[in-house]
Structures are given as C-alpha cells and as structure tokens.
Structure 1
Amino acid sequence: MDINDVEDEDFGFSRNYFLAKESGTSAKKSGHKLSDIDLVPEEELRAAAMDLQPKHEKEVKALMDSYRSLYQDWLFELRCGFGLLMYGFGSKKALTEDFASTTLTEYSVLVVNGYLQSVNIKQVIAAVAELLWDQIKSSRKTTESLSKAQLPYNSKSTDEIFAFLDGSLAEENDSFVCVLIHNIDGPGLRDTDTQQFLARMAACSHVRIVASIDHVNASLLWDKKMVHTQFNWCCHHVPTFAPYKVETTFHPLILAHSGSGQTAKTAAIVLQSLTPNAQSVFKVLVEYQLAHPDEEGMTVNDLYAICRERFLVSSQVTLNSHLTEFKDHELVKTRKHSDGQDCLYVPLATEAIEKLLMEISQ
C-alpha cells in the first residue's frame, strides 16, 4: 500500500471523527417527555411480576446450602465482635432470617426492615436495650437487684441507653443482642444522622449487627472510623439470585402508573437526562414552590437572582435555555401572576414535589 493512501485514510478517519463529535454536540436537547413514558396500572404490573416463574431452582438451592455451611463461621465472627455485612445480587432477606432462626437461638434478635420509609431509629435503640435487659434477667438466678434499677429503655436520654448497651451490667462477655437489618442502605436509614446512630449502637459491647446492602453506593454511607471501628464490618459476598418481592412492595414501580408518587419518579427520570446545573436550577424552583404554596409561582427575575447568587447561571440567556428545556419536558409551566407577571410553577401536587425533591437530592 502506498504511503499516500495510508495518509489519506488516516485523514479521512480523523475528519469523520471530528464531524461526528461536532454533530453530536449540536443536538444538546433531549426529546424525552413525561407523556412519552408508557405506564401501566401498578396492580397489573405487580401481578405480572408475582407470576414470574423462578429459574435454576436446583442451582439456587445448592447455593443456599453452601451458605448454611458457613453459619457457624458467621456466629464465631459475631462472638469475636465483628458485624456481618451481606452483599451480592438478590434478596438476602430469607438467608439472613434463616441464619438468625437456626443459629442465633441463644441470643435475642431484633429485625429492622430498612426498606421501609417509616423506620424510627430511636425506637429501634430502645427496643434493643429492652431485649438486652430481658436477656440479662433470664440469665441470672436472682433478679432482685435488677428489679430495683431503673429500666434503661424507659429513659428519655439516648446517651443513657447507649451507656447501658456498652456497660458491664451483663455478667457474660458473650451476652449480646443481634440486630438484623434488612437493607441498612434503604431509604428509611440512608440519612447521615441515622447512620451515625446505627454506628454508635454497633460499637456497643452488647450489640451485634447483621445487615444487608443492595445499593451500588452503599459504602459511601460510612467513613473509615465507622467501617473499621464502630460497625467493624466483616463483609460476605452472598449472591442469592432471589427476587426482591418484599423489599419492592412498598415502593412505586418505575413502569407503573400510581398517582403522585409515580409522577415524581417519572419526573426524576427525565431530570436525569439534563445537566447538573439544570437540575440545580429546577431544585431552586421546587424549593420556592414548597415554601410559598399560596403563590401563583416564581417570577423569572426572582429565579434568575437566586441562581446568579448561587453561581448556577452566568446570564439570562443561560437561564432561558434551562427554562426552555423544562418546558419542553413538561416539567415547568407558566401562568400569570396577579400583577401581570409571568410565573413559573411545577405542575405537580405538593406530595409529588416533595418526593421529587428527595429523588434529585440523593
């Protein structure tokens, strides 16, 4: 091959490459709209999901049997002061509950469903203290001295409960309460304060944690101290390939139509196709709408002033381009204020806006 032919071929490839890049960047706007998402009734979708037949049952059973042979090793790790963190594809609910019911029979076990939104962490801590109290009383020959003491779980002070869980009231060093947490990375436990409470509880001498995680960013919930000192995790890769039937019962399905919760979910999907700056501008708008529910909306000038102050936009032209995208995606609409100004508003119910704000803040 002639060297000139090689150079012409390389030139043609380079030219096509830059032309492709140029044409790709020119179409910045996405064509996705809320109305384009074809949703079905949630009941119909859940019924179809429940009718799915499990596959490879023989292989899955053999896999679960191999995990059962590790139960005594897991118990030994708990007795040594470690917490067990289970991860891997598939629901770990049945596996961890089987481990607790067959191997932790000498200990008190508290089950926490982290996949629920309504988990009250302070009630969990008080319940752990009550279980430990009952466990100590049942292990002693006489409870006369204990009955005169103040019950720790009735105390209003969380510090006093932690002091009891970490104290020397229990005679046996091996005396502990196991807290089994399904989805410690769940939406009800994901905030920083709750994780700090859980870490502090896990560090107590009479508490052990057995938890499962499924979120890809679950490890970002904890710093080095929490991982190695407080939770003291001993991680186990235990893929079960089991469906998340129970865990997903309390969450709206992405492809289902079920009112405001689902509308917020689909709006969040559309927002993911926009730039981070556009998402931040939209967040300013929804926060204003929640703070001023009786107003017609937010004026463009007010939105521009706040976004300019927060360095989200550099000019009115930039803000207008974001607003055009919002309107194209049917995320934002305009209506007249009482004084004649155009106001921007998000055409969602307050409940849906709150859920949407949670989605884009994660």
Structure 2
Amino acid sequence: MELIKLTDIIGSLNKAIGIESDSVVSNEAELINLLKEFFADRDFFLLVHSIDILYLKNGKVRKFIDNLVASVPRVRLLATVDHINSPLLWSLTESSTYRWLWFHVATFSPYLVERKHSSSQSSIFTTGSKSWKQSTNLLAVKQVYNSVNSNAQKIFLMILKLYMESRSRNSTFTFYSLYLSCREEFLVNSEVTLREHLAEFKYHNLIKMTKASDGAESIQVIFDKETVKRFNDSVGEE
C-alpha cells in the first residue's frame, strides 16, 4: 500500500483552493489559515481511504489532519477504516473533536491488493495471526496511554501491575484493592476520582468492570499478558 506524503496532500489542497503553482504554500500552519479563510462560508469535504493505516504509519499526516479538523470549522472528513478495532486510535477527547459518526459498510471483498503491499509482521490484514493480534493490541494500548494525563497513566500502570500479580483464574482483582494502591501512591483522593480516570480505559475496552452478587466490583484487563509485558517494556525504555 502506497503511503501518502504530507507534501502531496499540501500540493493537492493548494490546487483545490486555486493557489498558483509558482506560489505554492508549503507551510502547514499557513495553509490551514488559508483553508479556514477560503472555507469560511462553504463546506470542505476531505475523503481519506484507510485512515487507520495512514495514522499508524505516518505521524506527520496524522498531526496535519488533527490540526485541520480542529482549526477549520467547515471541514467534513469522510474516512474509511479496514479494521474493526480502528476506533481505538482516537481518545475520547479526539473523538469529540472529530465528531465521528460510525457506519458499518463492509464490502466483503478480499484484501488482495492490500496484501501485496503489507508485511506479515505488521499488517492489519493478517487477522488470523497471533503476532498480528498482539501488535495491534500493543499499538492500541500505547495510543490510549499517551492520550491521558500523567496521573491516569500511573493508575493504568498500577492496574497492569495488579493484573500481573493476580492469582485468580481470570486474573481479576477488586476495585477496592486498586483504590487502596492508588491512595498509597497519592494518585487519587476518592473513589469518584478513580472512576473518572478509569472511564477512558473502559471506553476503549482495555479494561472491564464486573459486580459480584455481594456488590464487590472486580476489574479485568482485556488483553493478554504477553501484550502487557511488551507494553511495560516499551514504557520502561521510554
């Protein structure tokens, strides 16, 4: 699959708004300001195919589109995704900025062309591979982790620690044990605050909470321990 260069996007947008070829705007901020002015009284439709792959492999393009959506009120972003877990790429805050409306419109066509341009180790199309699942989970966990504040990050690391130490059959631990651990580290001052921090991780299906018949709440991490180890190693390296 051919990756889109940021310069190609800027060149196309320059042409679309009628900027002469001998005065092409190459500065991203300047172009966004021009687009904001040009589309002040008209809608701006931008179609992006396979935006999930583009976001994972081209950080500059992602940053440009993020700024574009946040800065140009009349922009209408239409995008396709290839993987069912693609919504994990956007945090709650980012999703509210994009104002996504999701529609399931699968074509059921085989990914014959895409497979020719993808590697077996990193491709999202090798859905039967265990390494694919772990790689995708790791990318999703990193994305959510990087989108929250430092306190929430420390709480998430505490969750993973309790998860790895849990001796229960399904590796669950109680909400109260997490609360006590977080209080000891001065990360929260009430259960309400802790629940607010957990909302982001629950929204992205990284954890789930269940309640027993006696009212006690338990927390379970919804990805495998191998991914947890890889994530902890990557955080340690950083």
TM bucket, shorter chain: 0.3 to 0.5
TM-score by length of 1: 0.31
Q: Per chain length, whose mean CA-contact separation is higher, i.e. which structure has more relative contact order (CA < 8 Å, sep 6+)?
A: 1
TM-score by length of 2: 0.45
